Copies of this chain bind each other. A is one copy, B any other.
Amino acid sequence: MDERRFVDFLEKKFPFRRGLGIGDDASVVRCGKSFQLISTDLLVEDVHFRLSDVPLAALAEKALAVNVSDIAAMGGRAQYFYLGLGFPPRLGASALRRFFSGLSRAARRWEVELAGGDYSRSRQMLIAITIVGASARPVRRSGARAGDWVGITGPTGESALGLKLLLAGETRSPFILRHQHPRPQCEKGLRLSAHASAMIDVSDGLLLDLSRLLRASGVGAEIDYEKLPMAPGFRRLCRQRRFSERDLVLAGGEDYQLLFTVPPQQEPRLRRTGTAYHLIGRVSARRGLRLRENGRPLRVTKLGFDHFSAAPGR
């Protein structure tokens, strides 16, 4: 069962009448004049992270970043969160304190508060965070319409490059810092919410997350590879180390840039807010995702990271 079929199965079995449906980065429930956004993420040792690759304080920060980004991706402001923590006793109490120090620092940075939680010992470390946020105008995945621009808030592939460098034994690189200290686009998410027609954060790779947005909207898109933003030094380093630049840019996850669509008449207004972003393509009525480089079609082999690829089959 892949993610799409799994979500279909759940939507049929569990209609969410009180809210606006399942399948976005966060659920949307009306609360007075505003909307409450809630999102859950589960990180499991040896599936999403290895304890040997990341210090515990950075791990806590990443776990929270993923969730803060989910709220930003809906155009909301994250407010408070709940932590379910499964912790292997073998790591010891000082490791537990390092984890909470990192969590506390990250919570202050993104102005979110810990509101409750549950703790258990466990063999694998696991972090289940549920985050609550609010938005006056939540942006869903399903609002893209033919003719809208496709935009992104910044370069992708940085975190994936950092991971590759880490795995190759390097320890110092701005890309490693990007991998260990993700930056959810909180302020940009808020500004985009007034203008974007659809939005998603790039957690599993540009193409995979874009294809999710397009599917939810029932549309397709043409993307121009040469318009994708690239971090300074990125291209050179990829060439030097013989890493596939395209794989990293198109399929590398965990950058947490915001990928959005904006109607042409809204785009000049968005531009005037001073938000930095890049227009990388156009939404089309014809379904599917078509990638071009300087006008010529580009074939894509690898879409991105699907957590379901290793889920129980059939």
Contacts and interface: CB of A to CB of B under 8 A. Distances in A.
A156 interface: no
Contacts of A41: 84, 118
A130 interface: yes
A86 B13 CA distance: 19
Interface in A68-124: 79-80, 82-87, 89, 91-93, 95-96, 100, 103-104, 107, 113-124
Given A14-B113, A312-B91, A40 B84 contact: yes
A155 to B, nearest CB: 26
A92 B1 CA distance: 10
A233 interface: no
A26 to B, nearest CB: 7
Which has the most chain B C-beta neighbours within 10 Å: A6, A16, A120?
A: A120
Determine the main DSSP class of A at the interface with B. Answer: mixed
B310 A18 contact: no
A174 to B, nearest CB: 29
A237 interface: no
A44 B86 contact: yes
Contact of A130 (B17, B46, B130, B308): B130
Interface in A110-152: 113-124, 126, 128, 130, 132
Contact of A120 (B48, B116, B121): B48
Nearest to A97: B9
A38 B126 CA distance: 20
Interface stretch (A27-35, A218-226, A243-251): A27-35
A22 B19 CA distance: 27
A214 B1 CA distance: 49
Contacts of A307: 119-121
